Amino acid sequence: MSDHKTMTLKLIVWRQKNANDPGKFETYTAKNITDHHSFLEMLDCVNEDLILEGREPIVFDHDCREGICGTCSQVINGLPHGGSERTTVCQLHMRLFKDGDTIYIEPWRARAFPILKDLVCDRSALDKIIQSGGYTSCHTGGVSDGNAILIPKPVADESMDAAECIGCGACVAGCPNGAAMLFTSAKVSQLALLPQGKGEAKARVLAMTNTMTDCGFGNCSNHYECQAACPKGIDVKFIARMNREFIKAQI
């Protein structure tokens, strides 16, 4: 089916046996790659070769492979998700590379994300932030009709802009301070914008920012690397909104 010409690439990949291993870079060759391969399919091909040679394949997190589950997490040539605008690793295609390229592949690196193996890290700190307040405290059942409280389109749309976050952690990986401000602010903003979430807005922003700090995430110093790395294009204006919500909650 494939009549494309193929390319050969040099991969320099972070290998780490487990959380306690110091880890190191190793070099591999990716052969017979077409421009229709996705980046992860390119890695699949490398792994198939490694397995047949009796070597350990490269372990990486991935699942939906359509850019929505937020599982894939690789720093490619120094940029989370490879640096293409609004793109996860799984949606990155090899047509962006050329024959003979050298590609560096590393895991997310942040204090709050310990590495488990090779390119896989533990992002449960993001779950902890949500658990501390990223919800409305409604019960199952006993809620009012969906149209009982009107939410004008611009408000619903802005809330949706924030809600698009896929929780991949690229914002943390891209931030020089390892901050989770973009992630946290997206949830804080989504709910603070909606009438359903306003009631608990103060308690929410305080709890979530405290948890953020407790988990070992850094602070924001306005580099905006998070927005550049975000595969969903979440805007840093939500960090400003979170800061306002935070200040309001103090008074």
Partner 1 sequence: MILDGKCPTGPIEQTWDKYRFDLKLVNPANKRKYNVIVVGTGLAGAAAAASLGELGYNVQAFCYQDSPRRAHSIAAQGGINAAKNYPNDGDSIYRLFYDTIKGGDYRAREADVWRLAQVSNNIIDQCVAQGVPFARDYAGYLDNRSFGGAQVSRTFFARGQTGQQLLLGAYSALSRQIHLGSVKMYNRREMLDLVVVDGVTRGITVRNLVSGEMESYAADAVCLCTGGYVNVFYLSTNAMGCSVTAIWKAAKKGAFFANPCYTQIHPTCIPQAGDYQSKLTLMSESLRNDGRCWVPKKQNETRLPGQIPEEDRDYYLERKYPSYGNLAPRDIASRAAKEQCDDARGVGPGGRGVYLDFADSINRLSEDTIRERYGNLFEMYEKITADNGYKTPMRIYPAPHYSMGGLWVDYNLMSNVPGLFVLGEANFSVHGANRLGASALMQGLADGYFVIPSTIAGYLATIKPGAVKTDHAEFKKSAADTNAELNKLLNINGKRTVTDFTRELGTLMWNNCGMARNEEGLKEALKKIPAIREEFWQNVKVTGTGAEFNQQLENAGRTADFLEFAELMCRDSLHRNESCGGHFRTEHQTSDGEAMRDDVNYCYSAAWEFKGVDKEPELHKEPLKFEHVHLAVRSYK
Q: Tell me which residues in 229-248 interact with partner 1 (CB under 8 A).
A: none
- Tell me the two tokens of residue 64: 């939906």
Tell whether residue 215 is a contact of partner 1 (CB under 8 A): no
Contact 220, 240 (CB under 8 A): no
Minimum CB–partner distance for residue 46 and partner 1 (Å):
11
Contact 110, 174 (CB under 8 A): no
Tell whether residue 201 is a contact of partner 1 (CB under 8 A): no
Minimum CB–partner distance for residue 204 and partner 1 (Å):
11
Query: In this structure, what are the phi and psi dihedrals at residue 3, rounded to the nearest 5 degrees?
Result: -110, 20
Classify residue 60 as exposed, middle or buried by CB count within 10 Å of its CB (0-12, 13-18, 19+). Answer: buried
**CA-based end-to-end distance of the chain:** 65
Tell whether residue 40 is a contact of partner 1 (CB under 8 A): yes
Residue of 12, 45, 79, 206 interacting with partner 1 (CB under 8 A):
45
CB atoms within 10 A of CB 248: 12
Q: What is the Cα–Cα distance from 35 to 186, expressed in whole angstroms? A: 34
Contact 90, 82 (CB under 8 A): no
Q: Which is nearer to partner 1, 116 or 249 (CB)?
A: 116
Residue of 11, 28, 132, 236 interacting with partner 1 (CB under 8 A):
132
Residue of 78, 135, 210, 214 interacting with partner 1 (CB under 8 A):
135
Residue of 9, 119, 166, 236 interacting with partner 1 (CB under 8 A):
166
Tell whether residue 196 is a contact of partner 1 (CB under 8 A): yes
Contact map string, positions 49 to 78, toward partner 1, x by CB under 8 A:
-xxx-xxxx-x-xxxxxxxxxxx-------
Minimum CB–partner distance for residue 126 and partner 1 (Å):
7
Q: Tell me which residues in 174-193 interact with partner 1 (CB under 8 A).
A: 190-191
Contact map string, positions 92 to 131, toward partner 1, x by CB under 8 A:
-x-x--------------------xx--x-xxx-xx--xx
Tell whether residue 25 is a contact of partner 1 (CB under 8 A): no
The DSSP code for 12 is E
Q: Which is nearer to partner 1, 96 or 247 (CB)?
A: 96
Q: What is the Cα–Cα distance from 234 to 162, expressed in whole angstroms? A: 6
Which of the ranges 7-15, 44-52, 174-182, 243-251 carries the binding residues for partner 1, by CB under 8 A?
A: 44-52
Q: Which is nearer to partner 1, 112 or 126 (CB)?
A: 126
Place of tokens 């602010």: 185
Q: What is the Cα–Cα distance from 85 to 170, expressed in whole angstroms? A: 12
Enumerate helices (H) and strands (E) in the chain, giving the number of each. Answer: 9, 7
Number of residues that bind partner 1 (CB under 8 A): 82
Q: What is the Cα–Cα distance from 216 to 211, expressed in whole angstroms? A: 9
